[in-house]
Amino acid sequence: MEQTTQVNDQYSGRSVSVEDVIYPTTSDEVRNLVLRASAMKKPLYFVSGGRNWGYGSGLPVQDGSTLISLEKMNQIISFDRELGVIEIEPGVTQGQLERYLDENGLNYYVPNTGAGPDGTIVGNALERGFGMAPIENHAQGLLCVDGFLADGTPYQSALSEVNPKLGSCFPMGIGPSLDAFIPQSSWLVVTKAKVQLIRRTEVCDVMILPFARHEFGQVADLLQQLSARIDLPTGGFKILNQRQLQHTLNDLPDVVRRFTPRSDWTLAFFIRSSKRLRRPICSEVAQIIKDLKFDQHCSRWSDGKIGRAQKLVSLLPSSWRSLLQTPLIDLAELHRLGDGRTSMIGHKILKPEHGLLWLSPLCPLSSKDIGALTRIVDRWERMSADNKLPFQIATQTWTVLNQRTIALVLPLLFPLGTPLDFIHKSYAHMLEELRQHGFSPYRFPSDTMPYVTEMIAPRYFSLIQRIENALDPDRVINAHRYHA
């Protein structure tokens, strides 16, 4: 009888049995593994770092695969200073890239996420992850890749075959774009990638606009205006719900409350510009905000201003100091993320006794649609309070993905030990409700695969299945990820 190993995901409480866990260090080793598995029709499950926390971590969708972690293939191969293109292996983490850039005096943004320095660049982009630094939508920064198909055939992006440099210049390539078919797919293992990096601007200011729920329409207006203006270098738009903070604030002395936003919601975004252009850009943005007549003022924070506020607070008596320090530390971390550095601030939502699943529905950037989605979330919160859903919705964060789309990211926390079929019945219930109202998440936990694609877009995913079957008839690579 074959020996199997159990691998666990502390975030979902799920465990899967795998035949082996292998850590190759070269692409030749990867090719040999693929060739052997293909000959024996055995499934392989590839991860870059396996830290897809809240989306299944590094676990295969089903029992019986060999898990292959590419985390030891972590070479930064080259950096083209002229084009801002970095060539990396899949195991390169955000923290490693940040150190490399700092050590080499390269002033570029790291494509970061709330997952912190241990998340990989390639794995996150292949999942279509997003973050706050430009380019926010990480799959868009993926210029070209090398890898292997299930029968061991090497894959190179179209123009890389002509000239590797040209391949990274024009990712659309020629003919149908197969590169566009790589993120969230399961027909190719990626062993190398070129990623576009963006040079850091001279100044990065974070703008903080507290607002009340009835002002969501004005915020949608503001976001549409700002994201449509090519003359205004604004980005990294996040709407954060502050209910948790608000609960804490109610217990605070009045004097402290005066320094902190008194609204349920905060819009944060970044102005990134040269020193020379900072003033006219900021006054243009301030004018747009003023015209929309919000109840509260927008404040602008540079890293210098945050540093000065922190110094000032450090001089206060200790009772006040400890209360004011936390919001300032959070603000500094938010600024770090917007400035393309790594931060662990996202982990504040985690508790050791809780599991986590993300639910991240996409929404048209219009006040009507945002209102409809908000009402669904209100209903879920009432159901959670009545124990009809096992989840606590820890925070609500809305992220602008482009001029037309905003994604609501909900971390669903649940007590570890809750029966997994209750978790999935509830998750499926929430998905169904989203679908009925015309919403869909942009990304799914791997253990929801058996029901997700059938529920969300069955016709589309059956076509994907036909195409992937042609490329990988024995389902050797990442079987069942993103189709049933």
Ligand X SMILES: Cc1cc2nc3c(=O)[nH]c(=O)nc-3n(C[C@H](O)[C@H](O)[C@H](O)COP(=O)(O)OP(=O)(O)OC[C@H]3O[C@@H](n4cnc5c(N)ncnc54)[C@H](O)[C@@H]3O)c2cc1C
- Give residues 356-395 in contact with ligand X (rule: CB under 6 A): none
Decide if residue 52 touches ligand X (CB under 6 A): yes
CA distance 263 to 33: 55
Where does this chain touch ligand X (CB under 6 A) — which range of 52-60, 248-256, 374-382, 422-430?
Answer: 52-60
Closer to ligand X by CB, 278 or 480: give it: 480
Decide if residue 46 touches ligand X (CB under 6 A): yes
Where does this chain touch ligand X (CB under 6 A) — which range of 50-58, 198-206, 230-238, 376-384?
Answer: 50-58
Decide if residue 92 touches ligand X (CB under 6 A): no
CA distance 85 to 413: 38
Decide if residue 120 touches ligand X (CB under 6 A): yes
CA distance 34 to 31: 5
C-beta of residue 468 within 8 angstroms of C-beta of residue 461: no
Decide if residue 461 touches ligand X (CB under 6 A): no
Provide, rounded to whole angstroms, the least separation between the CB of residue 128 and ligand X: 8
DSSP bridge partners of 206: 270, 301
Closest CA to 37 of 16, 60, 14: 60
Decide if residue 144 touches ligand X (CB under 6 A): no
Decide if residue 338 touches ligand X (CB under 6 A): no
Closest CA to 302 of 271, 277, 330: 271
Decide if residue 190 touches ligand X (CB under 6 A): yes
Strand 44-47 versus strand 66-69 pairing type: parallel
Q: How many chain residues bind ligand X (CB under 6 A)?
A: 34
Decide if residue 236 touches ligand X (CB under 6 A): no
Report the Cα 109 to chain-centroid distance in Å: 16
Decide if residue 135 touches ligand X (CB under 6 A): no
Q: What amino acid occupies position 115?
A: A
Decide if residue 148 touches ligand X (CB under 6 A): no
Where does this chain touch ligand X (CB under 6 A) — which range of 54-62, 77-85, 155-163, 220-228?
Answer: 54-62
Three-state DSSP at 277 gives helix
Residues 6 or more apart whose CB falls under 8 angstroms from that of 339 comprise 109, 133, 200, 204, 270, 303
Closest CA to 434 of 463, 412, 404, 403: 412
CA distance 101 to 79: 10
Decide if residue 51 touches ligand X (CB under 6 A): yes
Of positions 192, 362, 478, 483, contacts ligand X by CB under 6 A: 478
CA distance 49 to 31: 19
Where does this chain touch ligand X (CB under 6 A) — which range of 155-163, 250-258, 346-354, 457-465?
Answer: 346-354
Three-state DSSP at 169 gives helix
CA angle, 440 as apex, 439 and 442 as ends, to 5°?
140
Provide, rounded to whole angstroms, the least separation between the CB of residue 90 and ligand X: 4
SS3 content of the chain, % helix, strand, coil (to 5): 40, 25, 35
- Counted residue by residue, the chain has a size of 484
Decide if residue 234 touches ligand X (CB under 6 A): no
Of positions 12, 33, 38, 53, contacts ligand X by CB under 6 A: 53
- Give residues 69-88 in contact with ligand X (rule: CB under 6 A): 70
Provide, rounded to whole angstroms, the least separation between the CB of residue 58 and ligand X: 5
Three-state DSSP at 267 gives strand
Decide if residue 34 touches ligand X (CB under 6 A): no
The structure tokens 């217990």 sit at 251
Decide if residue 123 touches ligand X (CB under 6 A): yes
Of positions 79, 108, 109, 130, contacts ligand X by CB under 6 A: 130
Q: Distance between the two ends of the chain, CA-based, in angstroms?
A: 28
Q: Is the peptide bond before 423 cis (omega within 30 degrees of 0)?
A: no
Decide if residue 189 touches ligand X (CB under 6 A): yes
Provide, rounded to whole angstroms, the least separation between the CB of residue 193 and ligand X: 8
Provide, rounded to whole angstroms, the least separation between the CB of residue 189 and ligand X: 4
Decide if residue 281 touches ligand X (CB under 6 A): no
Strand 20-22 versus strand 66-69 pairing type: parallel
Decide if residue 115 touches ligand X (CB under 6 A): yes
Closer to ligand X by CB, 45 or 108: give it: 45
Decide if residue 124 touches ligand X (CB under 6 A): yes
Provide, rounded to whole angstroms, the least separation between the CB of residue 183 and ligand X: 8
Closer to ligand X by CB, 130 or 211: give it: 130
Report the Cα 237 to chain-centroid distance in Å: 14
Provide, rounded to whole angstroms, the least separation between the CB of residue 74 and ligand X: 11
- How many CB atoms within 10 Å of residue 474? 16
Decide if residue 346 touches ligand X (CB under 6 A): yes
Where does this chain touch ligand X (CB under 6 A) — which range of 17-25, 46-54, 320-328, 361-369?
Answer: 46-54
By CB under 6 A, name the binding residues for ligand X: 46-55, 58, 70, 90, 113-115, 119-120, 122-124, 126-127, 129-131, 189-190, 346-347, 349-350, 478, 481
